[in-house]
Copies of this chain bind each other. A is one copy, B any other.
Amino acid sequence: MDEREALRLLASDLPHAGDDAAVVGSTAITTDMLHESTDFPVGTTRYTAGWRSVGASLSDLAATGADPTAAVAAYADQSFVDSELRAFVDGAKTVCASVGADYVGGDLDNHSEFTVTTTAIGEVDQPVSRSGAEPGDLVCVTGTLGRSAAALALFEQGETDRANELFRFPPRIETGRRLAGTATALMDSSDGLARSLHQLAEASDCGFAINRDSVPIDASVETLDLDRWEAGVHFGEDFELVCTVPKAALEAVQTDSPTPLTVIGEVTDAKAGVTVDGDPLADRGYTH
């Protein structure tokens, strides 16, 4: 059973299992586990690891429209090194501070492999789920896609400074909060745009007609020997927001969002499926 099947199995027991974050009262909570062999390529600094792992949880809050208040991390490694621990905490604190949240520590554990579990909490009045997209709504994405694919290529080439920079993404909290109450469906792109669209389509019982040329691919992808569509749409591990917005609301949201919000297509009915320039978009991406 892979993670996707396991999640589906659990969805019957846990009403929130399908969403980026669970909402209890007015509090949103989300947790993520990352570890070295799958999530932190050789060359990833502990500062970047702290930023990125805590940032992943903050991104899940953004994808619910929540305002983050605090984050914690459980940090495990074979041994604890002073400078590594401090760098991790520094990265975690910096990404939290960038969105007005407090990083308040966590737990330490000895483990066979560098492993981090981060949890973030926040307040949300009008949580946005994945299930409200309506035909005619516009499909939008924040920022640019492909940063993580580019980072991985750069790590492999030993260009660790640029790779680390790309790995430290800004969680789209302000845009997520602005979308709360306006967007009809919302999630983050951490599984890749293609998988995200398929998940939204399934949850909302709709289809999507995407325009290939509208998908914003990060400039870093262009400078590398990468398939830009693969890097931007299927690779995943980018933490942008993917949302559907009623046409009448778009301009106001775009004006208020501190991050560019690009229209990449339109919501269709379910029968039409998820297409790019009229051709089916494969439901293929990153399985965490």
**A222 at interface, CB cutoff 8 A:** no
Per the 8 Å Cβ criterion, residues 1-37 of A in contact with B are 1-3, 5-7, 9-10, 13-14, 16-17, 22, 24-25, 27, 29-35
Given A22-B104, A109-B288, is A13 in contact with B86 using a C-beta cutoff of 8 Å?
yes
List A70-97 residues whose CB lies under 8 Å from chain B: 70, 72-74, 76, 79-82, 85-86, 89, 93
Contacts of A255 on B, CB cut-off 8 Å? none
Enumerate chain B residues within 8 angstroms of A38, measured Cβ to Cβ.
110
In whole Å, how far is A120's beta carbon from the nearest beta carbon of chain B?
9
Is the Cβ of A29 less than 8 Å from the Cβ of B72? yes
Q: A72-B22, A119-B72 are in contact. Are A106 and B3 (CB under 8 A)?
A: no
Minimal beta-carbon separation of A68 from chain B (angstroms): 10
A69 close to chain B: CB less than 8 A = yes
- Taking the full assembly, how many copies of this chain does it contain? 2
Q: Which of the listed residues A86, A105, A121, A288 has the most CB atoms from chain B within 10 Å of its own CB?
A: A105
Is B33 within 8 A of A107, CB to CB?
yes
| Cβ-defined partner of A31 (8 Å) among B9, B34, B107 | B107
- Give bound CA distance, A117 to B33, whole Å: 8
Task: State which size class the interface on A falls in.
Answer: 35 or more
Does A223 interact with chain B (Cβ within 8 Å)?
no
Given A16-B105, A112-B112, A119-B29 contact (CB < 8 Å): yes
Judging by beta carbons under 8 Å apart, are B69 and A24 in contact? Answer: yes
Q: Are B7 and A108 in contact (CB under 8 A)?
A: yes
B6 touches A106 (CB 8 A): no
**Which residue of chain B is the closest to A81 with respect to CB atoms?**
B1
Q: Which one of B9, B33, B35, B119 contacts A85 once the chains associate, using CB atoms below 8 Å?
A: B9
Contact check, A14 vs B89: say whether CB atoms are below 8 A apart: yes
Contacts of A81 in B (CB 8 A): 1
Asked if A102 is an interface residue, CB under 8 A from chain B, the answer is yes
**Residue on B nearest A35 in the bound complex, by CB:** B111
Closest 7 CB pairs of A and B: A117-B117, A22-B104, A33-B74, A119-B119, A6-B80, A14-B105, A33-B109
- Taking beta carbons and an 8 Å cutoff, which residues of A are in contact with B? 1-3, 5-7, 9-10, 13-14, 16-17, 22, 24-25, 27, 29-35, 38, 69-70, 72-74, 76, 79-82, 85-86, 89, 93, 102-113, 115, 117, 119, 121, 288
15 additional A-B pairs beyond A2-B80, A3-B110, beta carbons within 8 Å, are A6-B85, A10-B105, A17-B105, A24-B102, A24-B104, A27-B27, A29-B104, A29-B119, A32-B74, A33-B74, A33-B109, A33-B117, A107-B117, A111-B115, A112-B112
